[in-house]
Chains A and B, each alone.
Chain A
Amino acid sequence: MIGHFSHVVTVLLMVAGLYVVMARGNLIKKLVGLSVFQTSVYLLYIAPGKLIGGTAPILAPQYTLYSNPLPHVLILTAIVVGVATLALGLAIAVRIKETYGTIEEDEIIAADNAVQDAEDARS
């Protein structure tokens, strides 16, 4: 179980993030949850790459044991992709705020339903 401690922490963080995304109605809070969810996945990759007694994968003559560089590369990419998604999500949220006047999901659905009803009434 000790050997898996890092995984358990990772799982708890992930699930907390996922819960925020799904349960909360505020568009910005959802995005924060989403980035917590994504960030915690990084640990899943990075933690197993560590070796006790190893050092960062920057080669130097005095070291012989290095942690695994490949997960680092993957996660660098994932971080960048994550922030790009966040930025785009925020831009959409800002536009929603401007056109709907709210960033609460329930209110947006209510506004859409009102429009739908108005259309139905006209027809």
Chain B
Amino acid sequence: MKNDLVLRVVGKLLIPFILLFAVYVQFHGDFGPGGGFQAGTIFAAGIVFHALIFGLERARKVVPDALVEAMLAAGVLLYAGVGVAGLLLGGNFLDYFVLDADPIHGQHRGIFWVEAGVAVTVCGVMLKIFYMFASRGDGSGGGA
């Protein structure tokens, strides 16, 4: 599959759009269907696509293992961090009203960062799982 010219060209063309679509889904979540989880999945799918066409090694260079593992944790920390920020600013845990002088604006800000946290963790986990399963097959060479 790695040497198929058509795939490589189409892949090169499509992958930026997939990633862009992920970003769109992320930020448009307030107005249309979508949000952090879907965006994270689509973003990860884009990179998995890249790995399938250009090989796992190149994908790992673009998004290295250590970064992926950090993403896992960073997303949860970001989400919980928003919650703690609410605490520190005098509200309850996960209180977005206090994040800005204008409570409605504070809500929007909170939702934005929270969704970002979800996207980061989901994307990290999807990639990590893919790397894990993919790299395992190389050595032991199962069927199919």
Residue positions of A touching B, CB distance < 8 A: 56, 58, 76, 80, 87, 91, 94, 98
Contact = CB atoms under 8 A, between A and B. Distances in A.
B140 A58 contact: no
B37 A87 contact: no
Contact of A87 (B32, B129, B136, B140): B129
Nearest to B30: A58
Given A58-B31, A58-B32, A76 B136 contact: no
B141 interface: no
Contacts of A87: 129
A41 B90 CA distance: 40
Main secondary structure of the interface of A (DSSP, over half): helix
A80 B119 CA distance: 12
Contacts of A91: 129, 132
Contacts of B32: 58
Interface residues of B, number: 10
5 contacts: A58-B31, A80-B122, A87-B129, A94-B133, A98-B140
A76 B140 CA distance: 36
A80 B33 contact: no
A110 to B, nearest CB: 22
A91 B131 CA distance: 12
Contacts of B136: 94
Interface in B123-144: 129, 132-133, 136, 140
Contact of A76 (B37, B132, B133): B37
B31 A80 contact: no
Nearest to B129: A87
Interface in B87-144: 122, 129, 132-133, 136, 140
A56 B34 CA distance: 13
